[in-house]
Chain A
Amino acid sequence: MTGDDPGPLIRLYGLTGGRARPAGESFDLVAIVTAVVTAAGAPAEPAGLVPEHLAALALCRRPTPVADVAAYLGLPLNVTRVLLGDLRREGLVTIDRPRPAAQTIDEGIYREVLHGLRRL
């Protein structure tokens, strides 16, 4: 994508109705997004969702970080966040609150990460 052609970006923001910020509480680039499934199954999909919403929803049947949703959809992170904010507002996904790495990494995770890096 070059800086000379704003066309694709303008088109992308058409997906979000021109919004640059997601609805509701802000969430991190690596917050985990999970599609809501109850005993009765997935909630009904409201009208007005674009194909990108549905693709994100399908992906998040497995808990998936926001950045991965962006990579999968091939969309900028900000655009992806707006779409995920829509899904959250409709009660279709949950998005976890950002937790500082230093507080969430216990010894088990620390060793897993070190081991995982070394065997790459």
Chain B
Amino acid sequence: MDYAGSEPASAAVADPAMAIKILVAGGFGVGKTTMVGTISEIRPLHTEEVLSERGVGVDDVSGVEAKTTTTVALDFGRITIREGLWLYLFGTPGQDRFWFMWDELAQGALGAVVLADTRRLQDCFPAVDYFEQLGLPFVVAVNCFDGARRHDPVTVRRALGLDGVAPILLCDVRERDSVKEVLTSLVTYSVGGAFPAG
């Protein structure tokens, strides 16, 4: 990029700003917020979103305006690649009843990281099923907590019933280099196939 003498306005036209979404999914307490915090340049923003119960997968009440509301926690962090190009990591709501929120988060996303804990591997099944159905590329990152048995990725793949395509990595969500490796794997897996290796 040529910075010298370029007007900010003209640079913006030549190079439109773009924000890329990556989802971080997995069961409750698996380390989603920690992972976002390890790599984000801003303190992960934890917000509580207010939703009307009408949107929470209850029976259709045929136009009756629901008065009840509920809140759902959403964490996100940011990585600036350069001015005008950002990666956003969204920690997806853990509760199943917030699937509709996943739909919105997943729309247009680059892909997802499914965090797995081998002591409770079944907790990540819903996320794997969801992304498979949606056709959104994902990698499975097995968070190796202290004292957790270090599983062989082949064993995890078999347990999850995954085909041979989605990458499975071991990681430590507290380690920056480990999270970087997970994210570069996801980016390469999601879009790298269209381009020559490099």
Q: Which residues of A line the B interface, CB within 8 A? A: 1, 3, 9, 13, 20, 28-32, 34, 37, 62-65, 67-68, 70-71, 75-78, 96, 98-102, 104-105, 107, 109-114, 116-118, 120
A96 to B20 alpha-carbon distance, docked (Å) = 13
A-B residue pairs in contact (CB < 8 Å), sample of 19: A3-B71, A9-B71, A28-B104, A29-B90, A30-B86, A32-B18, A63-B17, A67-B19, A68-B86, A99-B108, A101-B109, A105-B191, A112-B82, A113-B20, A116-B87, A117-B180, A117-B184, A117-B187, A120-B39
Complex interface bits, B75-91 against A, C-beta within 8 A gives 1, otherwise 0:
01011111011111010
Residues of chain A with a CB closer than 8 A to B71's CB: 3, 9
CB distance from B82 to the nearest CB of A (A): 7
Closest to A108 in B: B195
Residues of chain A with a CB closer than 8 A to B78's CB: 67-68, 71
| Inter-subunit contact B88/A1 (CB<8 Å) | no
Q: Which residues of B line the A interface, CB within 8 A? A: 8-9, 12, 16-21, 39, 42, 45-52, 69, 71, 74, 76, 78-82, 84-88, 90, 104-105, 107-111, 176, 180, 183-184, 187-188, 190-192, 194-195, 198
Known: A20-B52, A70-B47. A101 touches B21 (CB 8 A): yes
A100 to B49 alpha-carbon distance, docked (Å) = 24
- Which residue, B71, B80, B81, has most C-beta atoms of chain A within 10 A? B81
CB distance from B70 to the nearest CB of A (A): 10
